[in-house]
């Protein structure tokens, strides 16, 4: 059975695990987004202002047709999607964006008739004993321990952890374990 895990933020990802295979991630990619330039798609637009780190902001939006294609292309039979919720210190526009992504993913999932469950970050993280301020690093290390074949896919060329990919993969693995408990895989 192919089980997908979705981290629904713009920096999130979708990961698909084939529960019949031995600890292999069948498919992994970042959340499909489009970078905008003055209303034209797929060209980078530098938004007004800068980030806290001094970098120029880039306007982005979810690539809904590509999101839909991903759900239809890989034979997904069940999905676990991280429930969008406010986090301490998170800005209003960031939270709105995550909620929007959650809603788009859910609409596409329901429209395709794929069975799904929502899971809170706390629930799936607890299943892997991830807690505290270093949850991104813990998720990365846990993901590497479980899926050695992803070692080069979870970091950038410069060594930055791509936490959306690790989170999505662990959400999918959490889903496989939950479905096994229920006798569905």
The pLDDT of residue 48: 46
Q: What is the CATH number of domain 2-181?
A: 3.30.420.10
- The C-alpha atoms of residue 67 and residue 123 are separated, in whole angstroms, by 25
Task: Identify each DSSP E strand in the chain by its residue range.
Answer: 2-7, 13-18, 25-30, 33-35, 46-50, 56-58, 60-62, 78-82, 116-119
Instruction: Work out whether strand 33-35 and strand 25-30 pair parallel, antiparallel, or are unpaired.
Output: unpaired
Sheet strands side by side (includes 78-82): 25-30, 13-18, 2-7, 78-82, 116-119
Rounded to two decimals, the pTM is: 0.85
CA distances from 69 to 105, 119, 168 (A): 12, 23, 18
End-to-end CA distance of the chain: 7
Domain boundaries, the chain: 2-181
SS3 content of the chain, % helix, strand, coil (to 5): 40, 25, 35
Instruction: Work out whether strand 13-18 and strand 2-7 pair parallel, antiparallel, or are unpaired.
Output: antiparallel
In this structure, what token pair is assigned to residue 94?
């960031």
The position carrying tokens 């798609």 is 41
pLDDT tens, per residue, the chain with 185 residues: 999 999 998 889 999 999 887 667 889 999 998 877 655 554 443 344 455 666 666 778 899 999 999 999 999 999 999 997 666 666 667 667 778 889 999 999 999 999 999 999 999 999 999 987 778 899 999 999 999 888 888 888 888 888 889 999 999 999 999 999 999 98
The pLDDT of residue 172: 97
- The C-alpha atoms of residue 116 and residue 8 are separated, in whole angstroms, by 14
The position carrying tokens 């060594």 is 159
């Amino acid at each position: 059975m192919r089980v997908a895990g979705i981290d629904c933020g713009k920096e999130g990802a979708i990961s698909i695990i084939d529960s019949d295979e031995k600890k292999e991630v069948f498919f992994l990619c970042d959340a499909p987004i489009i970078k905008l330039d003055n209303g034209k798609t797929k060209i980078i637009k530098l938004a007004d202002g800068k980030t806290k780190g001094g970098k120029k902001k880039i306007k982005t939006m979810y690539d809904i047709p590509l999101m839909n294609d991903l759900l239809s292309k890989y034979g997904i039979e069940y999905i676990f999607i991280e429930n969008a919720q406010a986090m301490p210190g998170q800005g209003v526009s960031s939270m709105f964006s995550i909620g929007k992504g959650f809603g788009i993913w859910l609409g596409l999932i329901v429209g395709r008739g794929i069975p799904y469950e929502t899971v809170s970050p706390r629930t799936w993280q607890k299943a892997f004993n991830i807690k505290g301020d270093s949850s991104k690093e813990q998720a990365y290390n846990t993901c590497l321990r479980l899926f050695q074949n992803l070692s080069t896919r979870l970091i950038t060329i410069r060594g930055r952890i791509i936490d959306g990919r690790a989170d999505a993969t662990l959400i999918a693995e959490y889903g496989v374990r939950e479905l096994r408990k229920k006798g569905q895989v």
